[in-house]
Amino acid sequence: MKTLDLVFLWHMHQPDYRDHGDTASEGEFMLPWVYLHAMKDYTDMAAHLERHPGIKCVVNLVPVLLDQIDDYCGQFAGGHFRDPLLRMLSTPDLGTISEGERNLLLGTCFRSNHTTMLAPFPQYKRLHELYQMLTAQGEGACRYLSAEYFSDLVTWYHLAWCGETERRRNPLIARLMSQGEGYDADDRRQLLASIGEMISGLIPRWRALAARGQVELSSTPQTHPLAPLLLDFRVARESVPDAPLPYAAAYPGGRTRVRAHIDAAQASHARHFGVAPAGMWPAEGAISTEFVGHLAGAGCRWIASGEGVLRNSLKASGIDDPRAAYHPWRLDQAPGLTLFFRDERLSDLIGFDYAKWHGRDAAQHLVQQLKAILDSAGPDEHPVVSIILDGENAWEHFPYNGYYFFDDLYGLLAEHPDIRTTTYAELLAREMPPAATTLPRLTAGSWVYGTLSTWIGDEAKNRGWDLLCEAKQSCDRVLASGRLDAAQVAAVEKQLAICESSDWFWWFGDYNPSAAVASFDGLYRRNLARLYRLLQLEPPASLATPICAGSETATGGSMRRVTASHS
């Protein structure tokens, strides 16, 4: 009897939202998405698996995310909050907060999917309607809002960001949601303590799921760098031949930096979960021949990437195989490493379409699509299907944060006789693992359109790279001089890794909301400025100028946007 192996890979990532660039706000969280997604999505995703012990999957936890979760655990343990939103939730008397803090709450506490996270709650919706009515009357009208209004607002925002499983499990959250209004300092204190318990228990929950063999935990190089570009800017032209490149010919010392990111990720994973990861999801699924070789050299047994990369690679060799993603691959330049590729259509159905469906209809449809893949397989074909997407951003578009969709999907899959969920490590450990085909050549690209154009190739992105290259050259000169001690060198290398994150370059571009671009533009330049100061150098004047035109007038921020093929 033929069977289909299904691997879910849920990728959990948030960039470093801490302001490392200004000594006056050292370590201050500029955006709250790490702990909000921890409350809503990382807890829910663990709970879905706990309810369905027959389902297996891969969960990819990026080290820079784990570091920030650790940071929040420390804040809750010490009671000193460097996240301004948590500071407001913990403030006993909201009647004493400043005008800036009032504006922070008004500018932040309606930032969510209003259809699924505001409209279902009449009291929260009423707070928003009152805010809209006052803002229509002029800038100063909101000054009349009371401390009681802000207490209800900050409470409701956190209740709206609680995961559906937490609402069903936690009596405090259920009571507060039923209460609906009139929240006092004690209500907020209890909610704050409950949030602390959720976040502090998160990594142990994932560790327990891995220990019982239900989940394989994988990683990504330390701060989520676009490693193929750190190694060679020119690989961008393998998929986009006329792509404009930065003025700098190459990123200085890229090979050393890529190895450092891989080594740091393996050490972080071992520190959190007791063992090094067997495999990695490269940042943005971005790979090149040289980078895959580095991963193989570091002992990675598997990696995964986007189907567009596989399609472009096969096209370059004159191969057209519509079922190419349904089996593993290998590269001669990366011995011992197996490559898997994401099924774009099925992954994007979950990421973009199924939120509009009834949960059971969506679950049944996905299972039918998988059965069709199996039914059309040849007599000697054993399909391996990879469904890979972000483990946080899609669910706010689903009713009840996807609770019923996952309940139905995992339930159907657990009972299906011909489809079995598994992990990449388990596949490779079988007595007869699925046969891997040699890929004649690899065309560098990512899971976004199969190219690297989201991170390089336009004026703003290239300028961001040039600023980073200039800073790295200064870094190399100072480190070579030997004038910094070991602690200072470690601080420089940590800050450099933050500046090398792919997320900065993802946000540069007029296709993103201007407020979000402004936040990331400013934070990136402050991080570069801090790198210079750690080198005991004066930051160049060029860092005072926004990278993206118009971003100097925008304010606020947003979470990582979900885009086509970038779930």
Cα distance between residue 306 and residue 284, in whole Å: 9
**What pLDDT does 562 receive?**
36
Query: Residue 188 is encoded by which pair of tokens?
Result: 């907020």
Structure-block tokens of residue 292: 């895959």
The one-character DSSP state at 281 is -
Q: Which residue has the tokens 């655990």?
A: 73
Helix or strand (DSSP H, E) at 151: helix 147-160
- Percent of the chain residues past pLDDT 90, beyond the cut: 92
Residues 6 or more apart whose Cβ sits within 8 Å of residue 99: 143
CA-wise closest residue to 297 among 215, 231, 342, 386: 231
Determine the Cα angle at 105 with ends 102 and 109, to 5°.
160
The average pLDDT across 439-460 equals 97
pLDDT band at 436 (very low <50, low <70, confident <90, very high): very high
User: How far, in Å, CA of 301 to CA of 173, rounded?
Assistant: 42
CA dist 169 and 166 (Å) reads 5
pLDDT of residue 519: 87
Cβ neighbours of residue 113 closer than 8 Å, sequence gap 6 or more: 396, 397
Residue 505 C-alpha from the chain's centroid: 14
Reading phi first (left if > 0) and then psi (alpha if -120 to 50, else beta), residue 325 is in alpha
pLDDT of residue 567: 33
317-327 mean pLDDT: 94
pLDDT of 296 reads: 98
Q: Does residue 552 register a pLDDT over 70? A: no
Q: Which of 455, 456, 445 is nearest to 246 (CA)?
A: 456
State how far the Cα of 197 lies from the Cα of 156, in Å rounded to an integer: 18
**pTM (two decimals):** 0.95
3-state DSSP assignment of residue 455: coil
Per-residue DSSP letters for 158-202? HHHTS-HHHHHH-HHHHHHHHH-S---HHHHHHHHHHHHHHHHTH
pLDDT at 563 over 80: no
- Residues 474-497 as b/e (b if ≥16 CB within 10 A, e otherwise) read bbeebbeeeebeeeeeebbebbbb
pLDDT, residue 14, reads: 96
The DSSP secondary-structure symbol of 350 reads I
**Is pLDDT above 50 for 174?**
yes
Residue 84, CB half-sphere, CA atoms under 13 Å: how many? 21
Could you tell me which residues come within 8 angstroms of residue 87 by beta carbon, excluding any fewer than 6 positions away?
81
| pLDDT surpassing 80 at residue 551 | no
Give 556's pLDDT tier (boundaries 50, 70, 90). Answer: very low
Give the Cα separation of 190 and 166 in Å (integer). Answer: 15
Query: CB of 446 within 8 A of CB of 286?
Result: yes
> Which of 188, 185, 194, 187 lies closest to 166, judged by CA?
194
Q: Residue 284 carries which DSSP code? A: G
Number of CB atoms found within 10 A of residue 462's CB: 21
In this model, does residue 561 exceed pLDDT 60?
no
Q: Which residue has the higher pLDDT, 446 or 27?
A: 446
How far is the C-alpha of 42 from the C-alpha of 156, rounded, in Å? 20
Going by the DSSP 8-state scheme, the letter that residue 552 receives in this structure is G
DSSP-derived 3-state class of residue 389 = strand
- Amino acid 27: pLDDT: 87
Residues 484 and 346 sit within 8 Å (Cβ to Cβ): no
What pLDDT sits at residue 559? 36
pLDDT in tens, 477-493: 999 999 999 999 999 99
How many other CB atoms are there within 10 angstroms of residue 154's CB atom? 24
- Overall average pLDDT of the 81-105 stretch: 97
**pLDDT tens sequence across 339-387:** 999 999 999 999 999 999 999 999 999 999 999 999 999 988 999 999 9
Give me the chain's average pLDDT, please: 94
Fill in the DSSP letter of residue 233: G
